[in-house]
Chain A
């Protein structure tokens, strides 16, 4: 009898593990689909704190054109490149891009305080707004935007963050319009932004 109980317990555990793995795999696919087969439901409710302390929600996107992208200030390579690119696109668009509000959302709320975000984004462009929130705020926003992020611990107690790197273009209703992926050229990105301004 004991052996049978043990077998049943093991089977139950195995089922749980497989189910969990399947769910995780589905989540990963969701992210992939979100980037590849457009349009999909990207966007939705969020409440975050801007680097200047004001509250930013989905309602702030209405009537504007928004760029929403995720990262963390501890990342010296890719995130820095992304922010630099966004600043260059805005510069290229000039007055034509005045309606665009870029939002850099931190996936590292433990380290990214509003003060740190303020210094960081302002270095690239005063037009960029840094957004931070509690773990729960961030999780809800990431769910709305189908964004994946995960903490990766290093041997020495330090940590890095994995995160989706695409930039989402949101229209005047705060709905998903297009995305700029990390591999896009400068010209492609600027063309997409022009379309966002004209048609979004």
Chain B
């Protein structure tokens, strides 16, 4: 800004000075309490989430372990089938093993999707 701006600055200053606002003595305290309440709520939500974190992690690990065990069982079952039986349905042992590996996650996925979709009645 330069000297030319002085009248403009004075005009704005006067405009600002003349603007009267109602004084609300308890407003800062109310805002303070509102903000602190929100902070406390956030903290509580974070604490609860942190508390449940090991449980959620444990569930996930157990789920993965169960999936691996299921896959191993399926593979074992497929391996136990005689080759002529697989050949009769047009499968090689490798294809059957791959199908077995994919089948279990597919069934689990379908099951979880069914649970998540609310039926329209």
- Co-complex (A, B): no
